Amino acid sequence: DADVTQTPRNRITKTGKRIMLECSQTKGHDRMYWYRQDPGLGLRLIYYSFDVKDINKGEISDGYSVSRQAQAKFSLSLESAIPNQTALYFCATSDTASGKETQYFGPGTRLLVL
Amino acid sequence: AQRVTQPEKLLSVFKGAPVELKCNYSYSGSPELFWYVQYSRQRLQLLLRHISRESIKGFTADLNKGETSFHLKKPFAQEEDSAMYYCALSADYNTDKLIFGTGTRLQVFP
């Protein structure tokens, strides 16, 4: 089945370290998103990309960067991790052709910054 | 500002009881609204959208523009409905950007 996958699923890192979270999809979708989920705050959009050459900031992009290496891959980087970036990170995809708003989510990456 | 408010963090009911998960939004244009659900150990998935006017797993939601609400309802809750529910707003016609509420955890007791 076509899917959205995220690696790693869990990560512990130290303050100041650079880390990368990866997202891959086999759905053939053109649009990809990164969210973070925090207790009591719901999901907040970090970055989104509508195709390989299109990258847009979301609601909370400070401290993060992204790379759309291919239509199927969208990576999120924390250049210098800090403890308040401890959260559950979700990647999602959507398809322009199939209509708006149905976003398909990956299983999430749980990140702990010490 | 565009915002989605889910006033209840936790809603607990017994099996067979009616359920209403509240969602209010602020947006001056014509919004498109959705409910997403996250069952335990599963990924977030779309439950229903207002433009489809559909009933999924017995849940319905009606967009009330006068009250700016999109409450999720089910007449008889089941234990398998226990999950985290997120209301979401799409306020930008040209994108698929979603604004999520903070979520409501529904617990259905036997």
- Tell whether the model's pLDDT for residue A100 goes beyond 60: no
B104 touches chain A (CB under 8 A): no
Mean pLDDT over all residues of chain A? 92
Higher pLDDT among residues A13 and B28, named by residue? A13
Q: Which residues of B touch A102 (CB under 8 A)?
A: 46, 49
Residues B7-28, mean pLDDT to the nearest whole number: 95
- Tokens for A98, please give them: 């199939």
Q: pLDDT of B56-93, one tens digit each?
A: 899 999 888 889 999 999 999 999 999 999 999 986 65
- Tell whether the model's pLDDT for residue A61 goes beyond 90: yes
- Tell whether the model's pLDDT for residue A83 goes beyond 90: yes
Residue of B nearest to A3 (CA): B43
Question: What is the predicted pLDDT for the residue at A102?
Answer: 80
Q: How many CB atoms lie within 10 A of CB A104?
A: 20
- Tell whether the model's pLDDT for residue A39 goes beyond 90: no
Residues A81-86, mean pLDDT to the nearest whole number: 96
